[in-house]
């Protein structure tokens, strides 16, 4: 009995574990996609793809749903957040890898990781109850004053500062993605063989020249991967944005106007959707979000894999 | 002339490195501002009644958040009970059976991508699967949404921890005539158990801060409830509702609740990190050896 029993367990274990592996890596993402697709069937039949994407009207009363304001809002806030976070994250990565003494490295890395561990609802609440006030009363009027002489920039900062707008949302979003971005960039920097750096130092390069001409060119795809990974994160960020965006389905004309994103629309309206078409349109939005963020994250993964392949051996 | 050029290059280097230092300070600035506010506004309003009383009616300054604390614990617990084993099972397979297979390599990368999938998507999926058929919000849907969020996280960390177990240990077990399942049970899992525990703790830290998947699954409840087929209050959704409300008293309670939540999440993640660095001694040794070979 002993040996054949062991063989039985051997086979059972393999298939049991294998099932869950296939479930996690294939079945589960696929089922998520199918469910979203199935639930958005009604909206797809009603609006099609182009109409849904291009219509700016989101009107639950007349049952006319267009996703353009949400998609534009998501893209704008993500773009500005990345723009704000990228130089800071690269700076932090340079500081950790090249500048900080070794005792500080660990402490500092942990501190930045803590920034990532804070739940997003707390960012949202802090932004809504604390930070928005400073934006409304100090920062936004100051920005308006600075940029008022310039024709295009003054348009960007026109309007009544409320603190609940594109700018505040993007700033808080940028704080939230700094930890992810800087940790990917830092890992990429660490993969550069020290021989490369030492030979540059040997030629008489300064520290910045080593970073600029050796480290950054050789980790370019890692940095790009970090940027895209954070884009994927920022696209799907919900709670902080829900607090700060203002949930107005319009395409913002300036940075100081309230707007909405896909996630804000989902968070606010799922419980209110009273007709099948309304609900289906929300599922259509989630399908979009899922496909876009999945695509973006796959792209990031590929770029990071590329640099690892080049340097890890 | 040459000296001027050298001086300029050195100056540029100093300026750029100073800017990177400023970037680091900028990151710390937000951390301290957020944690500082949380501590000042949250700690002040921590009272005993926050933990042991149910909430009062809106606008009346009495009551606590007992229902939300208990609800949150129940939801997180059930989600972990469902999510942890699935994540560990698939992590074991990825590391022990599918390490060299192309197919499972693709699956591993998809799992990695699923770690960063927007959490609100899970809420939407569970809404379709469990809320629509039951015709009302229920805590079970919230638990499953969180569990599904947890699975990729646990799976990835388990896989990475198992990969750190030296191959020679496995060969030794094979040489003794062990079956693969015996090898996994008695050698691999035993030597990586603290690493797996770390992954579980990190996964729990992640889901206990989630709000979005609970908004339209577990929803919210103004009363204490133990029934998973009914709506159940959670700390995060309650914080969301209270912070959005016009009442000062509710804001204060939301701060206090956020303080507790952040404390829990941060302690959990720091504890997990130190666990991996201190008790997992042989990993350190192994890593150092690997580093020397490079």
> Which candidate in A6, A11, A13 is best for mutational testing of the B interface (most B CBs within 10 A)?
A13
Q: Does B104 touch chain A (CB under 8 A)?
A: yes
Interface of B with A in 41-80 (CB under 8 A): none
Q: Does B168 touch chain A (CB under 8 A)?
A: no
Which domain range does residue B140 map to?
66-293
Interchain contact, B90 vs A99, CB within 8 Å: no
- B35: in domain: no
- pLDDT for the residue B280: 52
- pLDDT for the residue B4: 86
Residues A147-164: pLDDT tens digits?
A: 888 888 888 888 888 889
Contact list, A121 vs chain B (CB under 8 Å): 209, 211, 236, 239-240, 258, 261
- B23: in domain: no
Q: Does B111 touch chain A (CB under 8 A)?
A: yes
pLDDT at residue A313 above 60? no
- Identify the CATH homologous superfamily for domain A71-311: MetI-like (1.10.3720.10)
Interchain contact, A39 vs B12, CB within 8 Å: no
Pairwise pLDDT comparison (A7 vs A174), residue with the higher score: A174
Sign, Cα dihedral of A64, A271, A250, A227: negative
Largest CA distance in chain B: 82
Domain count for chain B: 1
Contact list, A271 vs chain B (CB under 8 Å): 215-216, 219
Q: In chain A, pLDDT over 70 holds for what percent of residues?
A: 99
Q: Does B11 touch chain A (CB under 8 A)?
A: no
Mean pLDDT of the residues in chain A = 89
> Which candidate in B212, B249, B260 is best for mutational testing of the A interface (most A CBs within 10 A)?
B212
Which of B27, B37, B116 lies closest to A130 in CB terms? B37
- Please name which of A23, A5, A134 lies closest in space to residue B83, comparing C-alpha atoms: A23
Phi, psi at residue B192, to the nearest 5°?
Answer: -105, 15
- pLDDT for the residue B285: 46
- Write the CATH number for B174: 1.10.3720.10
Per-residue b or e along A240-270, where b marks 16 or more CB atoms closer than 10 Å to that residue's CB: bbbbbbbbebeebebbbbbbbbbbbbbbebb
- pLDDT for the residue B76: 94
- pLDDT for the residue B292: 42
- pLDDT for the residue A293: 92
Q: Which uninterrupted H or E stretch holds A58? A: strand A58-59
Q: Does B112 touch chain A (CB under 8 A)?
A: yes
Complex ipTM > 0.95: no
Determine the Cα–Cα distance for residues A121 and A84; give it in Å rounded to an integer: 21
pLDDT at residue A2 above 80? no
- Please name which of A224, A234, A288 lies closest in space to residue A76, comparing C-alpha atoms: A234
Q: Which residue in chain A has the smallest CA separation from B107? A: A25
Taking the model in full, what pTM does it have? Answer: 0.90
pLDDT averaged over consecutive 10-residue blocks of chain B (294 residues)? Answer: 84 93 93 93 88 82 88 94 95 91 92 91 93 89 94 93 89 90 90 89 91 89 86 92 89 93 92 74 49 40
Query: Å from A267 to nearest chain B CA?
Result: 7
- B196: in domain: yes
pLDDT at residue A100 above 50? yes
How much is the CA Rg of chain B, to the nearest whole Å? 24
CA A69 remoteness from chain centre: 18
**What stretches of B97-188 show up as alpha helix (H) in DSSP?**
102-115, 119-126, 132-134, 139-163, 167-175, 180-183
């Amino acid at each position: 009995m002993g040996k054949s029993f062991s063989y039985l367990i051997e086979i059972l274990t393999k298939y049991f574990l294998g099932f869950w592996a296939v479930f996690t890596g294939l079945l589960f993402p696929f089922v998520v996609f199918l469910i979203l697709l199935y639930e958005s069937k009604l909206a797809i039949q009603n609006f099609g793809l182009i109409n849904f994407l291009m219509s700016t009207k989101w009107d639950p009363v007349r049952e006319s749903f267009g996703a353009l304001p949400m998609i534009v809002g998501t893209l704008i806030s993500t773009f500005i957040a990345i723009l704000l976070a990228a130089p800071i994250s690269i700076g932090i990565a340079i500081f950790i890898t090249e500048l900080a003494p070794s005792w500080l490295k660990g402490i500092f890395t942990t501190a930045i990781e803590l920034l990532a561990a804070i739940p997003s609802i707390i960012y949202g609440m802090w932004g809504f109850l604390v930070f928005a006030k400073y934006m409304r009363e100090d920062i936004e009027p100051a920005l308006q004053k600075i940029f008022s002489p310039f024709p295009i920039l003054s348009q960007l900062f026109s309007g009544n500062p409320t603190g609940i707008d594109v700018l505040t949302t993007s700033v808080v979003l940028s704080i939230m993605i700094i930890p992810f971005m800087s940790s990917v960039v830092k890992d990429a920097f660490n993969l550069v063989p020290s021989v490369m750096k030492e030979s540059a130092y040997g030629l008489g390069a300064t520290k910045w020249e080593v970073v600029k001409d050796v480290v950054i060119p050789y980790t370019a795809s890692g940095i790009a991967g970090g940027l895209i990974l954070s884009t994927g994160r920022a696209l799907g960020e919900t709670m902080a944005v829900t607090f700060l965006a203002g949930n107005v389905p319009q395409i913002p004309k300036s940075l100081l106007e309230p707007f909405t994103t896909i996630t804000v629309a989902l968070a606010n309206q799922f419980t209110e959707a009273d007709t099948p078409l309304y609900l289906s349109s929300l599922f259509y939005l989630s399908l979009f979000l899922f496909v876009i963020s999945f695509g973006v994250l796959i792209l990031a993964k590929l770029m990071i894999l590329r640099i690892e392949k080049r340097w890890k051996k | 002339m040459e000296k001027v050029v050298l001086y300029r290059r050195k100056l540029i280097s100093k300026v750029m490195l100073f800017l990177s230092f400023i970037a680091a300070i900028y990151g710390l600035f937000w951390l301290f501002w957020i944690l500082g506010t949380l501590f000042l506004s949250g700690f002040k309003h921590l009272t005993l009644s926050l933990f042991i009383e149910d909430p009062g009616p809106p606008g009346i300054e009495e009551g606590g958040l007992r229902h939300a604390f208990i609800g949150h614990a129940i939801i997180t617990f059930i989600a972990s009970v469902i999510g942890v084993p699935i994540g560990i099972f698939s992590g074991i397979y990825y590391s022990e059976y599918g390490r060299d297979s192309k197919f499972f390599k693709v699956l591993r990368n998809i799992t990695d991508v699923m770690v960063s999938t927007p959490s609100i998507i899970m809420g939407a999926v569970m809404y379709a699967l469990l809320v629509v058929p039951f015709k009302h919000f229920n805590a079970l849907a919230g638990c499953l949404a969180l569990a599904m969020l947890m699975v990729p996280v646990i799976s990835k960390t388990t896989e990475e921890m198992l990969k750190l177990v030296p191959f020679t240990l496995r060969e030794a077990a094979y040489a003794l005539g062990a079956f693969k399942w015996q090898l996994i049970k008695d050698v691999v899992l035993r030597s990586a158990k603290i690493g797996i525990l770390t992954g579980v703790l990190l996964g729990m830290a992640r889901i206990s801060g989630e709000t979005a998947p609970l908004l339209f699954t577990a929803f919210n409840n103004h009363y204490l409830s133990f029934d998973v087929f009914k709506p159940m209050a959670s700390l995060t959704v309650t914080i969301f509702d209270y912070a959005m409300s016009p009442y000062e008293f509710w804001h204060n309670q939301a701060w206090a609740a956020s303080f507790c939540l952040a404390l829990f999440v941060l302690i959990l993640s720091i504890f997990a990190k130190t666990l991996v660095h201190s008790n997992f001694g042989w990993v350190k040794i192994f890593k150092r050896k690997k580093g020397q070979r490079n």
